[in-house]
Amino acid sequence: NAGVTQTPKFQVLKTGQSMTLQCAQDMNHEYMSWYRQDPGMGLRLIHYSVGAGITDQGEVPNGYNVSRSTTEDFPLRLLSAAPSQTSVYFCASSYGTAKNIQYFGAGTRLSVL
Amino acid sequence: DQQVKQNSPSLSVQEGRISILNCDYTNSMFDYFLWYKKYPAEGPTFLISISSIKDKNEDGRFTVFLNKSAKHLSLHIVPSQPGDSAVYFCAASVLDSNYQLIWGAGTKLIIKP
């Protein structure tokens, strides 16, 4: 089982560049989310989706956009990268009534110079 | 203001002994708590959870204790094994509150042979 797949694993951007972090899951989970993890801090929720066509903001949404056109895919777009967005990004999904037990991808390590 | 705090950044335990990881929270509305385990270069994986209607939950070598009056929970691992070396995150949520989790900063557990 592939589970939650994130691409790329590593990325270096220059300030002002845009890019999309990809996330796909093959478990037919309705709920998907994006987190960032910074040193000395817990994971912080960026955006989440409770189903195709529905997205909402989390704790730290500024500078990021998401869309959910299919159940499987939940891409995260950085519109104009800033050094403050240097972080490790995790995508997660969950299903059914155990909505808070989430399955995570391996992460994307992003550096913005 | 961190609502979920893991005050020990790291913990070193002898193989075979008990590992105790602690987590404190400030929001009295939290009613569901989870522990996740994370290896380097991987995403977090769910370990064990507890609802606020319970004070203890066991799963094999892992036991989580919840003290609501003290707003404190702990994860006990008995006996500790080398494969338990990882970063452990505590997370909390208000059940059914749009599925958002608030995460602690993590504790790195090192099991010494």
A97 pLDDT more than 70: no
> How do residues A12-42 score in pLDDT, each as one tens digit?
999 999 999 999 999 999 999 999 999 888 8
B3 pLDDT more than 70: yes
Q: How confident is the model at residue B2 (pLDDT cuts 50, 70, 90)?
A: confident
Work out the mean pLDDT of chain A and round it to a whole number: 93
Look at residue B83 and give its three-state secondary structure: helix
> How do residues B55-87 score in pLDDT, each as one tens digit?
999 999 999 999 999 999 999 999 999 999 999
- Strands annotated E in B1-113: 4-5, 10-14, 19-25, 32-38, 45-51, 56-59, 62-67, 72-77, 86-93, 102-103, 107-112
**How confident is the model over B21-49, as a mean pLDDT?**
95
pLDDT at A43: 93
Residues in B 21-60 with any Cβ partner in A closer than 8 A: 32, 34, 41-46, 49
CA–CA distance, B100 with A100 (Å, rounded to integer) = 8
**Residue B108: how many other CB atoms lie within 10 Å:** 15
Give how far the C-alpha of residue B110 lies from the chain's centroid of Cα atoms, to the nearest Å. Answer: 15
CA–CA distance, B96 with B5 (Å, rounded to integer) = 22
Which residue in chain B has the smallest CA separation from A37?
Answer: B105
With an 8 Å Cβ cutoff, the interface of chain A facing chain B consists of 4, 31, 33, 40-45, 48, 50, 56, 58-59, 90, 92, 94, 99-107
B95 pLDDT more than 90: no
Per-residue H/E/C for chain A: CCCEEEECCEEEECCCCCEEEEEEECCCCCEEEEEEECCCCCCEEEEEEEECCEEEECCCCCCEEECCCCCCECCEEECCCCHHHCEEEEEEEECCCCCCCCEECCCEEEEEC
